[in-house]
Amino acid sequence: MAFDLESLAEATSGAIGALVSTSILYPLDTCKTKYQAEVRAHHQQKYRNTADVLWEAIANGQVLSLYQGLGTKNLQSFISQFIYFYGYSFFKRLYLKKTGNKTIGTKANLIVGVAAGACTVIITQPLDTASSRMQTSKFGKSKGLWKLLSESSLSEAFDALGISLLLTTNPSIQYTAFDQLKQRLLKRQLKEKTSTNSSPEALSAFSAFVLGAVAKCIATFVTYPAIRCKITIQAADLDDNNENEEAESKKQKTVSGALYTIWKREGLLGFYKGIEAQILKTVLSSALLLMIKEKISKSTWVLLLALRRYLFMTQTRLKSA
């Protein structure tokens, strides 16, 4: 398939939106990740909630450490969103070209989204692992990206890859939940209408926003145990581990080990530890990303058209010279 300028514009605006939203919400993301990564019995827990992480940073004069790993996270967010938006647009256009259809159905749309997500995860997983280790390191003692990657084996760089691939179904769950909620709301509104001519055909902007947020919460709730296991596996090892804790830490680096450790130390509710912060961060991040993407998409398109025209004119001049 030829080079797709429209897909490139979508990918670029989406990546810039991810970059800005990640930077704005990064302290919240750090507090959330450190809280989620702690797997201890209730009477041994260092953090009772996400706010405790923030107060620790303030009390120790390490507020700037809430931004440790920001560069790596931004790099990962930019690359992953660029690949996702470009891959989604590319696979969608490829599907329409092969089938000859003018529009893409719901099932095909979900499959395209999962395929784009899988490609993204495979390419960016080492950066995701590195950023998680930076965030969960002790404040002020985070290692740099190059040092983390050089000290890790290939298998360690791709820690929790299977769970990350599983989490690509999150948008599918969100879309399905949104569609079901939408149909129920429209049916309810239809029953309340006295005139058949005034039956609703679409949701209002406010209703769509609310249902979208609810659907995202449902998808996060369903997949949250996998999210918690992923962070547990990718978390940095503590420097002051004794031999027993070090052995337990190694067990946590597998999916079965992480599941068993959380169950043993925290019980069933442990799989949902920190879900409030996860939902808050996810909803705010999605809203900011899409808002910024929509605001800059037209400007990005114009800039890319201007760049293509400039490159074409330059190439023409070189040929004629």
Mean pLDDT of all residues in 284-300: 72
Q: Pick 192 or 96 by higher pLDDT.
A: 96
Read off the tokens for 257.
């080990």
Question: How would you classify residue 159: left for phi > 0, otherwise alpha for psi between -120 and 50, otherwise beta?
Answer: beta
Q: Is residue 90 part of a domain?
A: yes
Residues 220-243 have pLDDT tens digits of: 999 999 999 999 998 877 555 554
Q: How big is the CA angle at 283 (ends 288 and 111), to the nearest 5 degrees?
A: 95
- Whole-number pLDDT of residue 29: 92
Please provide the DSSP assignment of 87-133 as one string. HHHHHHHHHHHHH--SS--HHHHHHHHHHHHHHHHHHHHHHHHHHHH
Q: Is residue 212 part of a domain?
A: no
Q: How big is the CA angle at 250 (ends 246 and 255), to the nearest 5 degrees?
A: 145
- CA dihedral over 290, 293, 297, 299, signed as positive or negative: positive
Sequence-separated (6 or more) residues with CB below 8 Å from residue 179: 106
Sequence-separated (6 or more) residues with CB below 8 Å from residue 150: none
Q: Is residue 286 part of a domain?
A: no
Q: Is residue 111 part of a domain?
A: yes
- Whole-number pLDDT of residue 177: 82
Provide the domain count of the chain: 1
What pLDDT band is residue 251 in, cutting at 50, 70 and 90? low
pLDDT higher than threshold 70 for residue 82: yes
Distance (Å, whole) CA 175 – CA 117:
15
Q: Is residue 72 part of a domain?
A: yes
pLDDT higher than threshold 70 for residue 21: yes
What pLDDT band is residue 28 in, cutting at 50, 70 and 90? very high
- Whole-number pLDDT of residue 303: 73
For residue 134, give its domain range: 68-158
What pLDDT band is residue 199 in, cutting at 50, 70 and 90? very low
- Whole-number pLDDT of residue 226: 94
Q: Is residue 153 part of a domain?
A: yes
pLDDT higher than threshold 60 for residue 70: yes
Q: Is residue 129 part of a domain?
A: yes
Q: Is residue 132 part of a domain?
A: yes
Residues 126-171 have pLDDT tens digits of: 999 999 999 998 888 888 888 888 888 888 888 889 999 999 888 7
The distance in angstroms from the start CA to the end CA of the chain is 31
List the single range of 40-49, 172-181, 280-289, 294-303 with lowest mean pLDDT: 294-303
Q: Pick 246 or 314 by higher pLDDT.
A: 314
pLDDT higher than threshold 60 for residue 210: yes
